[in-house]
Amino acid sequence: MKCALVTGGSRGIGKAICIKLAAMGYYVLVNYKSNEGEANDTLAKIRANGGDGELLKFDVSGKEQIQDALGKWIVANADKYIEVLVNNAGIKDDGLMMWMKDEQWDNVINTSLGGFFYVTRMVLSSMLLKKYGRIINVVSLSGLKGLPGQTNYSAAKAGVIGATKALAQEVARKGVTVNAVAPGFIKTDMTEGLDEKEMAVLIPTRRFGTAEEVAHTVGFLASPEAGYITAQVISVNGGLYS
């Protein structure tokens, strides 16, 4: 059984990635933080398409929770290994840096950058042992360009981009690729408060993207055929920034 783990698989981009990987034949571990209803909906959609998976609840910003939930799964499933990892869970908590609170900085950094480190380290050893793996990190245009009001989020995503490029070079010889996908504005809960009509004039494609369009890129990078692509950041942003 081929297994894939998607962090933040209950909603938005993560949900679409879970459905895409399941359609590619993966048994999908759907991670989420608290929204069990939406996580169950992801699993139901996977099963409705003829796939399968299970829920794996843990907060990616807490290393003890990761150890507890993911560590236990790995021990209990010694006959399986996670060959595709998508580090997708992320939050934003915007504000000008002048007024930014410690918690705003810590929570955003610990979720994207801390989550990447602690989750990836846990699944890496089996990928290296099996000499095959795909790690895809969902970053952001904000981590490439920097966006005002998002020093915490831009720093977190830029940190993951640097780590992607470094780790890719560490593990390339072992058949493990590490890439990042950088979405622009995608229609999910995260962008709910934004006025698409008003902002679309800035985007060459004149629209926000869909979660499925990001998932398609992730699916491509997760495929065996993408084995010669590593240490890259692929933007899915309608031409907004290059």
Chain contacts with ligand NAP (rule: CB under 6 A): 7-8, 10-14, 31-35, 38, 59-61, 88-91, 111, 138, 140, 183, 185-186, 188-191
Q: How far is the CB of 232 from ligand NAP (least distance, A)?
A: 16
Residue among 13 and 85 whose Cβ is closer to ligand NAP: 13
Residue among 39 and 124 whose Cβ is closer to ligand NAP: 39
Q: How far is the CB of 228 from ligand NAP (least distance, A)?
A: 25
Are the CB atoms for 56 and 73 separated by under 8 Å?
yes
DSSP-based three-state secondary structure for 210: coil
* Strand order through the sheet with 82-87: 52-57, 27-32, 3-6, 82-87, 133-138, 176-183, 233-236
Query: In angstroms, rounded to a whole number, what is the distance separating the alpha carbons of residues 65 and 234?
Result: 30
Residue among 146 and 175 whose Cβ is closer to ligand NAP: 146
Residue among 62 and 175 whose Cβ is closer to ligand NAP: 62
State the number of CA atoms in the 13 A half-sphere of 193 facing the CB: 4
Residue type, 58: F
DSSP-based three-state secondary structure for 105: helix
H/E element holding 124?
helix 115-130
CB atoms < 10 A from the CB of 169, how many? Answer: 11
Are the CB atoms for 184 and 191 separated by under 8 Å?
no
Alpha-carbon Rg for the chain, nearest whole angstrom, is 17
CB atoms < 10 A from the CB of 48, how many? Answer: 9
Q: Does the annotation count 153 as an active-site position?
A: yes
Q: Quick one: tokens of 146? A: 């920097």
Active site residue: 32, 132, 153, 228, which one? 153
Sign of CA dihedral 60, 161, 19, 37: positive
Residue among 7 and 152 whose Cβ is closer to ligand NAP: 7
Active site amino acids: 153
